[in-house]
Amino acid sequence: MHIHVRCRSVPERHGHVARSSVPLERIALISDVHGNLTALDAVLDDIETREVDQIINLGDFVGKGPRGSEVVDRCGKVCDVNIRGNWDDFLPTLGDDASPGMVWWRDELRADQHEWLRSLPLSHDLLLSGRHIRLFHASATSPHVRVRARHTAEEFDGMFRNTPMTGDGTPPSMVGYGDIHEAFLEMNQGRTLFNVGSVGNPLDEPVPGYVILEGVVGEPGPAPFGLQFVRVPYDAEAEIAVAARLGMPELAPYATELRTAVYRGLQAP
C-alpha cells in the first residue's frame, strides 16, 4: 500500500484522523524576580503577546533588587499561583540585628506583604497532557535547600520524591524549579528536571528568562506537550538607576550582576 503524506493537508480531507478538539493551554513559569520591576514588566509584556492562559511564579519576589514591594503587588494581581521562595520566607522574619542591607529589603515591604509572602504555598502540582508536573522554588525538601545544575544522582532523585513539603500527591515525572538563576533541562530515564531561570537576576546570561509549558490541562492521557525557554531583553540600566535613586544597599555588585550575569560572590573584589 502506498501512503501519501502531505505536511500541510486540508483538515476536511482527513476527518478520519482523531484529533483533540481541546485547545492546548499555555502556562508561563516565572521565578526569581527579586524586586526587578523593569525585567518583570518586560517579561509580562512578552507573555501577553503569546496567548498565555496562566502564570505561575516560583518565588523569590523580593531582596537583591530595589522594588520588591511593587513586584509583590504586581504578581499578586497577575499570577494565578505564587510559590514561596527562600527570600520570601526569611526576610519577613528578620530582626533589627540583621545586616543593614537585609533590614532595608525587609522594610521596603509593607506588613501585609510580609504576611502574604509567608502565607504562600511551597509546592504546586499540575497534570498537563498526561504528565504529572511538580513546581517548587529550590528542592522538594525546602526553599532553603539548593540543588545546582551540576548535582548528584541522589539530589536528582530527591527532586521527584514526596516529602512533608510537597505532600502526598502523585509523584511527578517532571519537576520545574527556580532558585539558582540558571535555566537548564535534563531528562533521565523518563524523568525531566528543568530550571526556569530568573526574571530579575539571571546568572547564566544577563537576559531575563522564563518557561512556557503547553498542553491540555487536567488531561490524564497522552496529548501533545511542549516546553519552551524564552529570553526577553530589557533595559537593565533603567533598573540600576532606580536602585541608585532609592539608595539601595549593595548597589555595585547588584549592577554588575545585572550587566554581566556574574554572581556577586564570584566578582573580582
According to CB under 5 A, which one of 25, 41, 46, 60 is a site residue for Mn ion?
Answer: 60
Closest CA to 239 of 3, 67, 82, 119: 67
User: Looking at beta carbons only, is 67 or 131 nearer to Mn ion?
Assistant: 67
Q: Minimum Å distance from CB 42 to Mn ion? A: 18
Please choose, out of 20-28, 46-54, 57-65, 113-121, the segment that lies near Mn ion by the rule CB under 5 A: 57-65
**Closest residue to Mn ion in the complex (CB):** 60
In the complex, minimum distance from the CB of residue 62 to Mn ion, in angstroms, rounded to a whole number: 10
Residue whose CB is less far from Mn ion, 146 or 191: 146
Smallest distance from the beta carbon of 182 to Mn ion, in angstroms?
Answer: 11
Nearer to Mn ion, 60 or 257 (CB): 60
Q: Which is nearer to Mn ion, 32 or 108 (CB)?
A: 32
Closest CA to 225 of 9, 20, 11: 20
Question: Vertex 7, ends 5 and 13: CA angle to 5°?
Answer: 70
Q: Which of 25, 32, 182, 219 binds Mn ion (CB under 5 A)?
A: 32
What is the bridge-based pairing of β-strands 54-57 and 25-30? Answer: parallel
Query: Contact, 28 vs 52, CB < 8 A?
Result: yes
Residue with cell 554581566: 260
**Measured from the CB of residue 64, what is the shortest distance to Mn ion in angstroms?**
7
Helix intervals (H) in the chain = 37-48, 68-78, 86-90, 100-107, 111-119, 153-159, 236-245, 251-260
**Chain positions contacting Mn ion, by CB under 5 A:** 32, 60
